[in-house]
Amino acid sequence: MQIIKNENVKEELYLEKLENGLNIMIIPKKGIKKKYVMFATNYGSVDNKFIIPGEDKVTEVPDGIAHYLEHKLFEQPNGTNSLDTLTALGVNANAYTTTNYTTFLFESTDNFYPALTELMDYVQHPYFTDENVEKEKGIIGQEIQMYDDYPEWVVYMNAIKNMYEKNPVNIDIAGTIESIAKIDKEVLYKCYNTFYNPSNMAMCFVGDFNPEDLIIEIKQRLVEKTKQGEIKRITEQEKDEIVKKKTEVAMEVSMPIFVIGIKDKVESKDIVKKHVAIEILLNMLIGKSSELYKELYDSELLIAEPYTEYEFTKTYAHIAITGQSKNPDKVFEKIMNKIEKIKQNGIDLEQFNRVKNMLYGSYIKEFNSVSDIARMFITDYFKDINSFDYIKEYETITPEYTFKILQEVFDYKKAVISVVKGKNE
């Protein structure tokens, strides 16, 4: 078992790769009552074209199938639902699908091992019939319609579609009513058998565990499966240019909401360092302590600090700035002007150091929460990143490097805006 220590947060990461290819991450937290586990597969909504190990032909499946699979795995042959079983054990259980992974999880203070038995049982034993697959279409169809009526989701997806032409990140995670209509039990089993192999999966445990004892418990609950070869994922080449500068739609909102996106190139080299630099830049640009935020807030162009993030996987990367404003176009213009001003005048060193220290402090705080730690390590794992690397990179980030990233990434030609305005405006 490999042990990685980090002195800054006084944490240890225990890594074990089992013979069947399953990767296990354990972060022991002595004396903590809560325990958190995530059982995840490297399979998300973008994986709609792939070559199954041992085959030559490309398999193409309906959009939304990863999310559909996540829903169906809770259903058991005896008519019970594993989510109900876990709730009855007193644990807080859930599951979700992202663009690049699907995860099943629970948090508990008691009944951890009975809950682990249930979790590992339902994830490893799919039960699909013509009847239960058909029944789910109505349930997921309602979920899709709900998201179609949800302004925050619409404004985000429109920004994504403004940036990406061919990358399947521009497809709703749940798919469409039309795409899920094509799903049957055969295609579900095909996707399950391809992506839910231990060699494509990982588990993360955070809590008061003895790692060696926990590994024994995990092995006892594993279904015997042989390690498989690499799944070849087919992603069409995405152009560097954006698709559309602006999209505006009308919905039931009290004040317009917006997402400003900046499309970026996909990189694997120094991605953690780049991510940290972009987080610093976003906070310097429009964070709560920035000049621009104060100006926009005082002039009532913003009612609260916008939410900013840098989203990236192995197939796409972009910045997203989300907020509310009575004049989103003016906010977009002001942000773009501020970017150009910083490019001309350089980075304010005092502000840079203050923001860098603030972000470092907030990152360290994430290690106080068992759920934050588990989500962080699982999310980063499927990007080939060790979450401890962020702590190392904070120490190496310089104003010069950050300025270089500003010039490379914050490009007006790659920027888009999506707006949802009120129906009466």
Q: What is the mean pLDDT of residues 156-176?
A: 95
Q: Distance (Å, rounded) from C-alpha 245 to C-alpha 409?
A: 17
Residues 6+ apart with CB under 8 A from 162: 242, 243, 244, 245, 246, 247, 261, 416, 417, 418
Residue 17 and residue 1 in contact, taking contact as beta carbons nearer than 8 Å: no
Six token digits for residue 206: 């955070």
Q: What is the DSSP string of 35-70?
A: EEEEEEES--TT--EEE-TT--SPEE--TTHHHHHH
- The C-alpha R_g of the chain, in whole angstroms, comes to 23
Q: Dihedral (C-alpha) 155, 158, 159, 165: value to the nearest 10 degrees?
A: 170
Q: Distance (Å, rounded) from C-alpha 78 to C-alpha 359?
A: 49
Going by pLDDT thresholds of 50, 70 and 90, the confidence category of residue 268 is confident
Going by pLDDT thresholds of 50, 70 and 90, the confidence category of residue 79 is confident
Going by pLDDT thresholds of 50, 70 and 90, the confidence category of residue 285 is very high
136-139 long-range contacts, Cβ below 8 Å, gap at least 24?
Answer: 136/68, 136/71, 136/72, 137/180, 137/181, 137/183, 139/71
Which residues belong to the active site? Answer: 70
The confidence score (pLDDT) of residue 374 equals 97
Six token digits for residue 145: 């319609």
**Which letter does DSSP use for residue 31 in this model?**
T
Q: What is the mean pLDDT of residues 106-121?
A: 96
By C-alpha distance, which of 193, 203, 189, 186 is closest to 228? 193
Number of neighbours of residue 153 by Cβ within 10 angstroms: 15
CATH assignment of 2-233, among 3.30.830.10, 3.40.50.300, 3.20.20.140, 3.20.20.80: 3.30.830.10
Q: How many residues does the chain have?
A: 425
**pTM check: above 0.85:** yes
Q: Distance (Å, rounded) from C-alpha 65 to C-alpha 219?
A: 29
Going by pLDDT thresholds of 50, 70 and 90, the confidence category of residue 267 is confident
Any idea where the domains of the chain sit in the sequence? 2-233, 246-422
Q: What is the mean pLDDT of residues 358-384?
A: 94
Residue 118 sits at φ, ψ, to 5 deg, of: -65, -45
Q: Distance (Å, rounded) from C-alpha 23 to C-alpha 5?
A: 18
CATH assignment of 246-422, among 3.10.20.30, 3.30.830.10, 3.20.20.80, 3.40.140.10: 3.30.830.10
Pinpoint the alpha helices (H) of 247-320: 271-286, 291-298
The confidence score (pLDDT) of residue 344 equals 96
Q: What is the mean pLDDT of residues 388-401?
A: 93
Question: Lowest mean pLDDT: which of 43-52, 140-149, 301-310?
Answer: 140-149
Residue 37 and residue 116 in contact, taking contact as beta carbons nearer than 8 Å: yes
The confidence score (pLDDT) of residue 269 equals 84
Six token digits for residue 200: 């494509």
The confidence score (pLDDT) of residue 202 equals 98
Going by pLDDT thresholds of 50, 70 and 90, the confidence category of residue 172 is very high
Q: Distance (Å, rounded) from C-alpha 81 to C-alpha 76?
A: 6
Six token digits for residue 423: 């129906």
**What is each CA distance from 53 to 48, 248, 345, in whole angstroms?**
15, 43, 53
Residue 83 sits at φ, ψ, to 5 deg, of: -65, -40
Going by pLDDT thresholds of 50, 70 and 90, the confidence category of residue 423 is confident
The confidence score (pLDDT) of residue 175 equals 93
**Which letter does DSSP use for residue 386 in this model?**
-
Tell me which residue has tokens 């404004």: 155
